[in-house]
Amino acid sequence: MRKGSGITGMKRDTQKAFLKDKTYRLEITGLTQEGQGVGKIDGFVVFVDTVLPGETVTVKIVRQTKSYAVGRLIKVEKPSPHRVEPFCPVFEQCGGCAVQHMTYPAQLEFKKDIVVQSLRRIGGLENVKVLDTIGMSSPYKYRNKVQYPVGRQDKEIKIGFYESRSHNIIDSAQCDIQPSESNEIRGLVRDFCNSNGISIYDETTGKGLLRHVMVRKGFKTNELMVVLVINGSKLPGDGALVEMLTGKYPDIKSIMLNLNTKNTNIILGDRNICLFGQAFISDYIGKYRFDISPLSFFQVNPVQTEVLYGKALEYAQLSGSETVFDLYCGIGTISLFLSEKAKRVIGVEVVPDAIRDAQKNAGLNNVTNTQFMVGEAEKVIPQLYAQGIRADVVVVDPPRKGCDEVLLNTLVEMQPSRIVYVSCNPSTLARDLKYLSEKGFEVKEVQPVDMFPWTGHVECVIMMTYCGSEDK
Ligand code: SAH
């Protein structure tokens, strides 16, 4: 046994005796980036769901580690003026939303504050201009894609959402951040499974057929796609299901079977079979059309995507003569958005399928000044730079882990006039802006955009300029 482990164990036990299973009254002093409340009991950090800063609450401690505890809310003793009744009856159980107990204007403030605090604490950036979060005029039914897990609980078929931190499925409620068609199609598929004896996938045994139901909607076209993810290659009675769904929803343009026979948490398999219509639906962002197949990545809030990309275009300040790099370009959405105002756009993305979609999308929209390359941005860009290919403006839209330092370093050497950073994670954003700020770039403006109302997520777009080129 490791030396000293007994002592650590003893200390932990003492702490457990001190907190676990007891109820405490505490004041909530802040919120995490995920929207969890933070307070302290005798200096020990406690996280609590569904509370707000400024509230006094009673909690029962349900979990404790060496450095923090988790409390379950028993009673709000003194509520915040920003508290509202959640609109969803299963808000507290469901893993989907985090801040439905907060007014929408307060959510927008909270998201701005997360960005300001991250820039200050992680980025050491004190006086950055952070604008108010752009919210939605109607923050409901905004998602264009939903993936319902299917399971069997107490002999009943459940199609719905996972409970928070569990794989129990809640299917009682209608979800008001999805379009109403998704909720209704879910009900029709459940009825079909019940009356046709369709077996349901069991993730513990790996047996059973239906795993997930995905519904996608083109918000501008109203086109619907239904994808039935199965652990097999055939869905018995599929003809009747197609007839029922398309009879009720003439906007369904595509019904697909997706085959996923792997015992994994990944929702979609690689193979698709078209049961009805086409293998894709179309939608528009701005004036650009995109064909979306079951496996395509497409931003889930199309209304706010247009706002976000509009801001990216504004920050790029293009005159028509620029070479632009769109790094982490996905299916080329930002590239197309920028193409009209740039001389040429080079998009780089690591997923080959996404690049194929990007090329197809450029063709679909008769855009001829874009070029797409497969690879990691941190490998491709240093190579392009070594070949003398440079950008006047660089847009980056990395995943949550942010940009690789090799990429940032190449941008520092390349000295583009502007960098437009689109970020879904304020922490890694702050880290990367710190790096760039210390090496000649200046953060001009930060615009948070609310892409995911009622959740803790915040997206931002940032304009940076290269200081050396600024006064020229
Ligand atoms: N700009 C796109 C996609 C943004 S999501 C849009 O708005 O739709 C981030 C993308 O980065 C994903 O498509 C992911 O596949 C890609 N990616 C992740 N790591 C990468 C890397 N090292 N280099 C290039 N692309 C990467």
Say which CATH architecture domain 145-292 belongs to.
Beta Barrel (2.40)
pLDDT of residue 166: 86
Tokens, residue 114:
């997360």
Q: How far is the CA of 399 from the centre of ligand 1 (A)?
A: 6
Three-class secondary structure assignment of the chain: CCCCHHHHHHHHHHHHHHHCCCEEEEEEEEECCCCCEEEEECCEEEEECCCCCCCEEEEEEEEECCCEEEEEEEEEEECCCCECCCCCCCCCCECCCCCCCECHHHHHHHHHHHHHHHHHHCCCCCCCCECCCECCCCCCCCCCEEEEEEEEECCEEEECEEECCCCCEECCCCCCCCCHHHHHHHHHHHHHHHHHCCCECECCCCECCEEEEEEEECCCCCCEEEEEEECCCCCCCHHHHHHHHHHHCCCEEEEEEEECCCCCCCCCCCEEEEEEECCCEEEEECCEEEEECCCCCCCCCHHHHHHHHHHHHHHHCCCCCCEEEEECCCCCHHHHHHHCCCCEEEEEECCHHHHHHHHHHHHHCCCCCEEEEECCHHHHHHHHHHCCCCCCEEEECCCCCCCCHHHHHHHHHHCCCEEEEEECCHHHHHHHHHHHHHCCEEEEEEEEECCCCCCCCCEEEEEEEEHHHHCC
pLDDT along the chain (472 residues), means of 10: 33 57 94 91 93 96 92 96 95 90 96 96 96 98 96 90 89 88 94 93 94 97 98 95 97 98 94 96 95 90 96 98 97 95 97 92 97 98 97 97 98 97 97 97 98 95 83 37
Mutate to test the pocket of ligand 1, among 297, 328, 405 (most ligand atoms within 8 A of CB): 328
Domain 107-137+301-466: give its CATH architecture: 3-Layer(aba) Sandwich (3.40)
Residue list for the binding site? 299, 328, 349, 397
Give me the pLDDT at residue 17, please. Answer: 58
Instruction: Delimit the domains of the chain by residue range.
Output: 3-78, 107-137+301-466, 145-292
Q: Which atom of ligand 1 is nearest to the CA of 351?
A: 15
Annotated binding site for S-adenosyl-L-methionine: 299, 328, 349, 397
Q: Which atom of ligand 1 is nearest to the CA of 377?
A: 23
Q: How far is the CA of 286 from the centre of ligand 1 (A)?
A: 21
From the CA of 309, give the closest atom in ligand 1: 7
Q: How far is the CA of 328 from the centre of ligand 1 (A)?
A: 3
Q: At which residue do the structure tokens 């078209």 appear?
A: 274
Catalytic residues, by residue number, are: 424
Q: Which residues line ligand 1 (CB under 6 A)?
A: 297, 299, 328-330, 333-334, 348-351, 354, 376-378, 397, 399
pLDDT at position 53: 94
Tell how far the Cα of 369 is from the centroid of ligand 1, in angstroms: 20
Q: Whose CA is nearest to atom 12 of ligand 1?
A: 330
Matching CATH topology for 107-137+301-466 and 145-292?
no
Cα separation of 204 and 366, whole Å?
48
Q: How far apart are CA 434 and CA 212, in angstroms?
A: 42
pTM for the whole structure: 0.90
CA 434 to ligand 1 center in whole angstroms = 21
Closest protein CA for atom 11 of ligand 1:
328
Choice from 308, 335, 345, 349 to test ligand 1 binding pocket (greatest atom count within 8 A of CB): 349
The minimum-distance atom of ligand 1 relative to the CA of 348 is: 24
- For domain 3-78, the CATH class is mainly beta
